[in-house]
């Protein structure tokens, strides 16, 4: 039995939740000694870029509140923001461990309504893109845990509801193939985050995202792993 299949079996048996909570508290006890919480050092770049400034972030696809997080280091530095996460178990973790943030249990896209959501094992590969889900299952990189409908909102609507009129310093998007729909749902004339982080796992998506953000006066200033970082150029 591989790791994903084992986790799947533990989920189904109800044991995983107990083990998962214990692991969270063990990891939290080590937080003070950690320099970075993101996958490829994105948070260290952001710390150096923003320096002592404190700002607001919008994180689309929050997943875990401090594991593989682009924003947790900023949170520890006094930042706060809006975190959108469709998996209720992970949304609840954010509410527990990051009380300064605003949390929304939903998916994000270019409109409102409902989206089909594919909750995967591991959860970081969960997606609203059916082809992306099928590709990961076929490649053996993920296992489908369950499939269900989730409410969808746009970044524009979420901003107006929760953060307007405050300026946004950072938009972080990690939605496993659904990122362009998220970007299309941003009111770029109004929000204009200073830095945008967006995931792209292949050259076609990297080009599509780069062209889209360039058209909204952003320049690609760095790539870290599968993530591209863009800065608003005040064009």
Cis status, amide bond into 122, omega within 30 of 0: yes
Please say whether the beta carbons of 112 and 157 come within 8 A.
yes
Q: What confidence score (pLDDT) does residue 229 get? A: 98
- DSSP-derived 3-state class of residue 83: strand
Q: Tokens for 229, please give them.
A: 């970082």
120 phi-psi bin (left φ>0, alpha ψ -120 to 50, beta other): beta
Identify the pLDDT of residue 34: 81
HSE-CB at 147 with a 13 A cutoff on CA atoms is: 9
The rounded distance, in Å, linking the Cα atoms of 141 and 136 is 5
pLDDT less than 50: residues of the chain: 6, 8-11, 15
The pLDDT of residue 10: 45
**How high is the pLDDT of residue 172?**
98
Does the reported pTM lie above 0.85?
A: yes
**DSSP reduced 3-state for 111:** coil
DSSP 202: S
Question: Is residue 41 a contact partner of residue 68, using CB atoms and an 8 Å limit?
Answer: no
Predicted confidence at residue 15, as pLDDT, reads 44
pLDDT score recorded for residue 202: 86
Q: Which CATH number among 3.40.50.970, 3.10.20.30, 3.90.105.10, 3.40.50.150 corresponds to the domain 35-114+151-232?
A: 3.40.50.150
- Distance of alpha carbon 65 from alpha carbon 70, whole angstroms: 10
Structure tokens at 156: 């524009």
The predicted structure's pLDDT at residue 4: 54
Kind and range of the H or E element at 230?
strand 227-232
């Amino acid at each position: 039995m591989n790791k994903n299949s084992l986790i799947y079996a533990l989920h189904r048996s109800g044991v995983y939740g107990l083990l998962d909570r214990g692991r969270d508290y063990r990891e939290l006890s080590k937080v003070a000694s950690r320099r970075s919480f993101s996958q490829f050092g994105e948070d260290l770049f952001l710390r150096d870029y923003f320096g002592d400034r404190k700002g607001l972030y919008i994180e689309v696809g929050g997943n875990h509140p401090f594991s593989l997080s682009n924003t947790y280091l900023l949170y520890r530095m006094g930042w706060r923001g809006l975190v959108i996460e469709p998996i209720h178990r992970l949304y609840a973790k954010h509410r527990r461990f990051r009380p300064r943030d605003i949390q929304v249990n939903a998916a994000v896209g270019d409109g409102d309504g409902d989206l089909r959501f594919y909750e995967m094992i591991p959860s970081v590969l969960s997606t609203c893109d059916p082809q992306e889900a099928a590709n990961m299952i076929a490649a053996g990189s993920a296992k489908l845990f369950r499939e269900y409908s989730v409410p969808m909102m746009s970044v524009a609507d979420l901003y107006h509801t929760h953060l307007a009129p405050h300026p946004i310093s950072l938009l972080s998007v990690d939605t496993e193939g659904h990122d362009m729909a998220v970007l299309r749902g941003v009111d770029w004339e109004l929000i204009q985050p200073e830095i945008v982080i967006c995931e792209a796992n292949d050259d076609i998506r990297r080009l599509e995202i780069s062209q889209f953000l360039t058209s909204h006066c952003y320049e690609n200033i760095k790539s870290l792993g599968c993530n591209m970082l863009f800065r608003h150029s005040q064009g």
